[in-house]
Amino acid sequence: MASQTYKQISVLSASTFAFTICFAVWVMFSIIGIPIKETLGLNETEFGLLTATPVLTGSLIRLPLGMLTDKYGGRPVFMVLMLVTVIPIYLISQATELWQYLVLGLFMGLAGGSFSVGIAYVARWFDKSRQGLAMGIFGAGNSGAALTKFVAPSLVVAYGWQSVPKVYAVAMLVTAILFWCFTYTDPSHRVQSSITFRDQLRALKDPTVWKLCQYYSIVFGGYVGLSLWLTKYYINEYGFDIRTAALLASTFVLPAGVIRALGGWLSDRYGAHPVTWWVLLISWVCLFFMSYPQTEMTVQTVKGPLTLHIGLNPWVFTMLLIVLGFAWGIGKASVFKYISDQYPENIGVISGIVGLIGGLGGFLLPILFGVLVDLTGLRSSIFMLLWGITLVSLVWMYWTEIVPRRRSESSFTPTPSSR
């Protein structure tokens, strides 16, 4: 009989690997959507809709999946979820019209819901002092987006874009089998049978949950949105080919996924609040500079007109992007440390709600990116939008967490008259 420690390691490893493959599938359109866009003659808004469609179902399904995980356990729910996506993934290689890609994308997107299953499944195998690290390691499966950036472009160039969904369908099937072989079930991890779905949904009335949703909408929703958009951004803004653009985009995607384990450790050690505050502040600064559009300015001098170019070159832009990726990777872990600290009894439901809203951010942002670029003609307008969302999060955290803490501390300060 396997020891408890062995089971913990096996569950964490298998779940992280499965989530990595699911996430790679979830953002597949970020690469194959580019040749599809050219073939179908899509505009920027239509391209945004195409890449975002899988994110919609992967987000909406997170809450019900989290509830099912609490009720029936993560192992069977995760297994069934992966098997359901195999055929739709494969059929994408046979599609020829936009509506077909959108419909199949909705079913393929179910893979994105694996996060709310796995995060609750993994967390319950560890005690509170190590949950942040465990959830951070599992969340590093976000690096599946980087896997797609590395693998898919090579498949597209060598065998055509249709090869990508075929390979991914086989990978998903194999992953589901391996997951079942190396994971375990613990009936004590399920909520009491007397707790109904209505009881679980009462969490929607908690304002703290909605605040965490706001934080996650930028650190995860922004991450997904940019993961889907960056390859094309590098191609259009700086003129790179698809493989170079995907490689540069991976400098954001990979750190934002892998560093999540460090974010979990930092949150365990220093607390979720200070870590999240610094994440949002650093993100706000980076996005401010990334928002500035490429500008040509002519100044009349005594020697005649002088033309100046103001804007980020690709290397400075990439450095800021890497910093942003590190910050958001840490922030994704710190937000879920909030959840494990404040809602230990119903992690699945709360993570489902927060993951749903964060995922919806990942769905809406690529569409809004396309709309902004079509309306303004400024590619950097996408970072202006992200800067504004981050500012809202900072203000919300300041008034609901920092100000009350300062008032609480001042109320315990002895006054001269009381001495």
Output the DSSP codes for 207-228.
Answer: HHHHHHHHHHHHHTHHHHHHHH
Gyration radius from the chain CA atoms: 22
- 413 Rama sector, left if φ>0, alpha if ψ -120 to 50, beta otherwise: beta
List the structure tokens of 371: 């709309």
Residue 310 bridge partners (DSSP): 295
pLDDT digits (tens, 9 = 90+) for 280-335: 999 999 999 999 888 888 888 888 888 888 888 899 999 999 999 999 989 988 99
> What does the mean pLDDT of the chain come to?
87
SS3 at position 271: coil
Q: What pLDDT does 123 receive?
A: 85
* Whole-number Å distance between alpha carbons of 94 and 77: 28
DSSP string, 27-68: TTHHHHHHHHHHHHT--HHHHHHHHHHHHHHHHHTHHHHHHH
pLDDT for res 419: 45
Cα distance between residue 265 and residue 385, in whole Å: 30
**Owner of token pair 């008034």:** 399
How much is the pLDDT for 193? Answer: 58
| CA of residue 255 relative to chain centroid, distance | 12
User: Helices 98-108 & 29-40, crossing angle to 10 degrees?
Assistant: 170
Give residue for tokens 């498949």.
Answer: 155
Report pLDDT digits (tens) over 251-288.
887 777 778 778 888 888 888 899 999 999 999 999 99
What pLDDT is attached to residue 399? 92
Residues of the chain with confidence (pLDDT) below 50: 417-419
Are 258 and 196 within 8 A, CB to CB? no
Q: Which domains does the chain have, with CATH numbers?
A: 4-182+200-408 (1.20.1250.20)
Element containing residue 297 per DSSP (H, E): strand 295-301
Residues contacting residue 149 through CB under 8 Å, at least 6 positions apart: 30, 31, 231, 246, 247, 249, 250, 253, 254
Return the pLDDT at 195: 62
